[in-house]
Structure 1
């Protein structure tokens, strides 16, 4: 059953803005396989070279303006992006007040982070390709600025738990697909959608070596068939590991299909697309002005020994700094001559207010427990930090506001795990003989508290700024 959330809202006189202006488009970012070097696919394991192109990869984006503030939201068909690259993009777009660069987290595109190269000690990043993506995003946003048109908007949500599988205990999912549909102010026809999904784009499995956008390719194709306009797809709280159902699903012909091939990616993508259509049918009008932007850079300690080794080997190429113990400040840059005991990277959390709606910019893969509040209380026996307080929870922070969670926004810092669920050292929770998957792809047990506390502060600041 579809659900939707709308709040009664009126802007204070000082914040009244012009009608919402909108544009949408895409630009191709498919890597060239004709070159004389391998394109290493990101995700699963290192040494997976691309052999063919099944469908084109794109940077898809929208530009919104209320006449005073403008926001670009771009989604890449990639495993992740880094804040330094996002900052370089912003520097080339001074006319846009805020640029948010998300990634779908597809496991079928080129390595843009470094962890999936030819071997564990070799980076998989092709710097020329990453720079090409940066230029493509800049080109796209500049093009969007020339095609802005007045629109209205509808917001809808729908819960589809049958479309999500959680492979880590406790079983917790955020099964809510969220969508904004933009409609022409002239004739009320749809002109574009922003969709937030709920699962990792990994319907094809680890054996695939063809470049593809995975199931979001089919979701966006299905929606274009339905509405004759483009869609921008982003991933939500997919940490821990939320993925398409392992047991398969039933396709449109009522035939069972199972993971690990393009037939499954298409069937699953179509199912997500149909869920979006159902959400749109139950959607309601929502004002999306004025636009208010809140963002904050934060220091994230790098305690993961694998990440520290990867940086020392130049597998991950990213500036890092001395960890001061305070997420709001960081020390001197780490160099060959200066190697403090603990290092940190700088990331970003954001809250973009579109009228009453909040876009939450989270720089990694948020565990759904931090959305729903289903963090074990009391904590499970044998977890590493049973006394850790439960972090601020998204649903508590947003109250009656409609919202969308923009996962992997502006950065990819890995899994964002509730600290009291951290379980790396024996004995292990749930009677397990080994640690669950998750901590190996997280920077530190401190990430969850830092990100969620920063989000809480930004949400409070948004309320004050918007006069609510």
Structure 2
């Protein structure tokens, strides 16, 4: 028996010396990247209402094409797609419709860059406050485009290696809400061919709202991410998928402008600024990749959880009752893990809720967090006001778990507006809708008006924390 044990050990040693290991024998990481056009048609017969800022802003022309851009990854056991839309947002029910048409893919994540210069896909930026801005035929077209894209990606997988990099660029971020807290870190995955090590695509997570053009623009455009991806195409001769990270708060390109490549000062509100800012973001990615490190993205595991969130925002409730926002909702039971009967004309409970999803993708040593809205950076960094803001509405609320602590020292990327757009995800202690207001203000800061409820922050972050616990105890879906 001892002889057999020694013999087995010698055999294992020989295999290792020959280059064998269980990890090396596993299926290689496979990758594909692509895009499909989702630019709406502009005609005299039907207006295209631009999302963001205010209602009644109709598109007049097209500056650059809008796209659904995506990547697919496979480890031989699981396949997943991450798609980013050049749109203000996307709803979870629409994401579910897409998934139902792609049963062969283990997980599809549909993000939005949150561009304020594309068609209204949510409903609240129509011709007037009582008219929806959604063109259902256009939304259905986007659904079909995403399905087509993912099928194309599945048919074009190739073996790759992956490199991860990150870089802090606080000068590219402006926070218009007190306290000033930002996540300045641009994060990037670059995929390289196993044949010749040339780049074949990038996934970039940015830090700000795509609103370089401002509220007066009426041209359809992907905003600054168009120029970011253009700069990276010039550098690496391959496509890029851009997603937004922790942009709640409101994090935006610097209001006082930036200096462009020609050492000129440019300011928001025009394509010159969008070009300069987007190019600066692209250059930051290039600088980061100069010191990138290889990263193992296999094996892959997919963790997700559907949750209910209450709709306490009176404007959202009114928009739903007027059919401006057309989304299935349910009775709020007081428990995010269960929801009541579907709301109808004949059943209108005191508090309603919608169902959304939080996800956590475990790719080897990398975590990809799917957050269904615009998360405040405080919930990423943990930089809460200390002491608590006594004038805020819930100064004694427990602090939520934060991304920085949950991820510990592991590399991560945060996909904001992932699979849904539920609005701002605000730390409950910073909810400040009723007087007296914090910071000596005479009125509430911007934010709460575009959040479903003060309960959203705790629900989303507790759910994410539970997914991390699941991630640490199982490798399954």
Match 1:75 to one of 84, 87, 92: 84
Please list, as runs of the form range in 1=range in 2, the aligned pairs for 1:37-436 lying within 5 A after superposition.
37-436=46-445
2-structure distance, mates of 1:15, 1:110:
46
2-structure distance, mates of 1:16, 1:120:
59
Greater relative contact order: 1 or 2 (C-alpha under 8 angstroms, separation 6 or more)?
1
- Equivalence for 2:472: 463
Query: Residue 18 of structure 1: CA displacement?
Result: 1.1
1:438 to 2:447 alignment: yes
Deviations 1:200-254, CA, capped at 9 Å, x for gaps? 0000000000000000000000000000000000000000100000000000011
What is the total number of aligned residue pairs between the two structures?
Answer: 456
Deviations 1:69-99, CA, capped at 9 Å, x for gaps? 0000000000000000000000000000000
Query: Residue 34 of structure 1: CA displacement?
Result: 2.5
1-structure distance, mates of 2:219, 2:213:
10
2-structure distance, mates of 1:23, 1:217:
20
After superposing the two structures, state which structure 1 stretch, 380-389 or 206-215, moved more.
Answer: 380-389
1-structure distance, mates of 2:48, 2:459:
35
Helix, strand or coil for the counterpart of 2:474?
helix
2-structure distance, mates of 1:344, 1:22:
37
Deviations 1:283-334, CA, capped at 9 Å, x for gaps? 1000100110000000000000000000000000000000000000000000
TM-score of the pair, normalised by structure 2: 0.94
TM-score of the pair, normalised by structure 1: 0.96
2-structure distance, mates of 1:173, 1:399:
19
Unaligned runs of 5+ in 2: 1-20
Task: Extract structure 1 runs of 4+ deviating beyond 6 A.
Answer: 12-16
- Equivalence for 1:9: none
2-structure distance, mates of 1:446, 1:15:
46
Helix, strand or coil for the counterpart of 1:119?
coil
Bigger radius of gyration: 2
- Equivalence for 2:32: 23
Unaligned runs of 5+ in 1: 1-11
Helix, strand or coil for the counterpart of 1:152?
strand
Query: Residue 15 of structure 1: CA displacement?
Result: 12
1-structure distance, mates of 2:251, 2:422:
17
1-structure distance, mates of 2:363, 2:335:
31
2-structure distance, mates of 1:253, 1:232:
27
